[in-house]
């Protein structure tokens, strides 16, 4: 049975559940509803409040605050909401992760994600696995980020938007519409092409890459509107990741998808 290392200046509520081989650094505060999984490290001045479940093998950096009430003027302190964090995440200095706002809801972060210093994850966000959120990114409430996305530093994301799998976002950008999977996005609400390097690194074969390019061209570069492009796509033999791209576009009804920047190509 491993030991727990709690610094003498840390304040850990006796009702908190602390698993084996956890380390809690100087001046950190852990509330009574916290569950901290094995081999997780809390560095100094970390605050865990409210109902927060943290998995195994996480690193939580200096000054990070997890489980604070959501920044929602309609929120009632009596609501039971929470934060759920999976395994093997790196959450660097001064990140803020707020708990859900609707009764019984949660902000969720998956596994093997890397949140760089100063990132903010608003209430009810859903972060997948292997996501990189660079320094000072701001995610408003209910933002969903799918597996393998990379969000460049200083970028901002409007509430309720959806960022697809393996999206690459340039730093200092801003978005209020959905970003389909596999695209490169930058500036304010613009798509620039396909994340070809990301697809290769993720092991996508040549056929899948070609199909994604064809789907991208149909949606963005054919001159058809979205409904016409999807109608035409239904008559074509798209499958696998290309079908994932098209299904995402078809389901992006709340906010719509970001348009393509004039002159952009699909890469490769």
Domain ranges of the chain: 5-157, 161-268
pLDDT of residue 267: 64
Where do we find the tokens 């505060």? 29
Name residues of the chain where pLDDT drops below 70.
1, 267-268
pLDDT digits over 230-261, tens only?
Answer: 999 999 999 999 999 999 999 998 899 999 99
pLDDT of residue 264: 77
110 within 8 A of 127, measured Cβ to Cβ: yes
> What is d(CA 54, CA 86) in angstroms, rounded to the nearest whole number?
6
> What is d(CA 27, CA 250) in angstroms, rounded to the nearest whole number?
49
CATH fold label, 161-268? Udp N-acetylglucosamine O-acyltransferase; Domain 2 (1.20.1180)
pLDDT of residue 253: 86
Closest of 130, 147, 43, 56 to residue 95, by C-alpha: 43
Backbone angles phi, psi at 226, to 5 degrees: -60, -45
pLDDT of residue 28: 99
pTM of the model: 0.97
Q: Could you give the count of Cα atoms lying within 13 Å of 248 in the half-sphere of its Cβ?
A: 28
CATH architecture under which domain 5-157 falls = 3 Solenoid (2.160)
Contacts of 126 (CB under 8 A, 6+ apart): 107, 108, 143, 144, 145
180 within 8 A of 259, measured Cβ to Cβ: no
């Amino acid at each position: 049975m491993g030991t727990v290392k709690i610094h003498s200046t840390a304040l850990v509520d006796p009702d908190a559940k602390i698993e084996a081989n956890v380390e809690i650094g100087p001046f950190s505060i852990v509330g009574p509803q916290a569950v901290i999984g094995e081999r997780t490290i809390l560095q100094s001045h970390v605050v865990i409040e409210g109902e927060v479940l943290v998995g195994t093998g996480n690193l939580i950096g200096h000054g990070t605050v997890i489980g604070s009430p959501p920044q929602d003027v309609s929120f009632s302190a009596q609501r039971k909401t929470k934060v759920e964090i999976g395994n093997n995440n790196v959450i660097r200095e001064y990140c803020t992760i707020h708990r859900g706002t609707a009764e019984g809801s949660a902000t969720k972060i998956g596994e093997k994600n890397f949140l760089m210093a100063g990132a903010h994850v608003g209430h009810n966000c859903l972060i997948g696995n292997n996501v990189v959120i660079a320094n000072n990114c701001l995610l408003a409430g209910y933002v969903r980020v799918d597996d393998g996305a990379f969000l460049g530093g200083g970028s901002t994301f409007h509430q309720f938007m959806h960022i697809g799998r393996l999206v690459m976002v340039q730093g200092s950008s801003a978005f209020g519409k959905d970003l389909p999977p596999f695209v490169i996005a930058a500036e304010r609400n613009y798509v620039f092409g396909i994340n070809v390097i990301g697809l290769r690194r993720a092991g996508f074969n040549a056929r899948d890459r070609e199909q994604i390019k064809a789907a991208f061209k149909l949606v963005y570069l054919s001159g058809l509107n979205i409904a016409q492009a999807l109608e035409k796509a239904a008559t074509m033999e798209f499958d696998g990741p290309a079908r994932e791209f098209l299904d995402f576009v078809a389901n992006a009804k709340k906010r719509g998808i970001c348009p393509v920047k004039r002159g952009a190509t699909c890469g490769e």
